Amino acid sequence: MGELVRLEINDGIGTIRLERPPMNALNIQVQEELRAVAAQITADDSVRAAVIYGGEKVFAAGADIKEMADMSYVDMAKRAGALSSAFDAIARIPKPVVAAITGYALGGGCELALAADWRVVAEDAKLGQPEIKLGIIPGAGGTQRLSRLIGPAKAKDIIFTGRMVDAAEALAIGLADRVVPADKVYDEAINLVRAYVGGPAQAIAAAKAAIDGGLDRDLAGGLAWESQLFAALFATDDKREGMAAFVGKRPAEFTGR
């Protein structure tokens, strides 16, 4: 159990709670605890989906600038890869993951939200990548994941200006998937992933791997990757159960194996 990142598991859903008040600044300790909790969720078969939640007031307002202010090029050259890979560990969880965003998701906070499969956003929330105002650029996936999600032109506007994006705009451009009142954000996020808890875990993991991995390939490579994952599922118990249930005209009872 981490000191600043806590994992709670209820009914097959793991909640990753950021607990570094007042703004959940993502310092090195938080980054490494995120990496550890991602590994824990990946390895625990009882966890079928996850929610990343910063609390009722704020998701995460960014990296710990005080920690970075005196770092040199040499210092950051040593740290940058670990920073990026900590967030990538969240993105690579082979289970459905949703970010429940209240208050602010800025800088590293936005990058953490981008590592999730979906984003449920409070009506009064603000998202953005303000690193340019510090004389730097996003360094934990922001330039890559944001452009893939909303397109390069919109990503350039947000990153070049460092401006904040409100919930309505985030929904319109695809940065948010659902917008709800702030006090409903966590419940809505839970409801979004609850449907996957009893599903075929191996097939869901393969679908996520096919989609995310295919984005890094050309069409021919993506189709070959899909075919490989598709064929592998024929070795699972869930494939046998799913097809037997279909033929027998009964509900499937998946075990995740």
pLDDT (tens digit per residue) in 122-157: 999 999 999 999 999 999 999 999 999 999 999 999
Where do the CATH 1.10.12 domains begin and end in the chain? Answer: 201-247
pTM: 0.94
Identified catalytic residue from 38, 62, 103, 111: 111
To the nearest 10°, report the CA torsion of 194, 195, 196, 200.
Answer: 140
Let me know if 63 is a catalytic residue: yes
Contacts of 170 (CB under 8 A, 6+ apart): 119, 121, 125, 127, 176, 179
- Out of 33, 131, 188, 226, the active site residue is 131
pLDDT at residue number 217: 94
Catalytic annotation, pick one of 62, 108, 128, 242: 108
Catalytic annotation present for 253 = no
State the average pLDDT over residues 153-162.
98
Cross-strand bridge partners of residue 105:
60, 127
Residues 63, 105, 113, 170: which is the catalytic one?
63
Instruction: Give the model confidence (pLDDT) of 79-105 as tens digits.
Output: 999 999 999 999 999 999 999 999 999
Query: Directed axis angle between helix 237-247 and helix 201-214, to 10°?
Result: 110
**Options 3.40.640.10, 3.40.50.1100, 3.30.1050.10, 3.90.226.10; CATH of 5-194:** 3.90.226.10
Q: Mean pLDDT, to the nearest integer, of 164-180?
A: 98
pLDDT recorded at residue 183: 96
Q: What is the pLDDT of residue 1?
A: 66
CATH class, range 201-247: mainly alpha
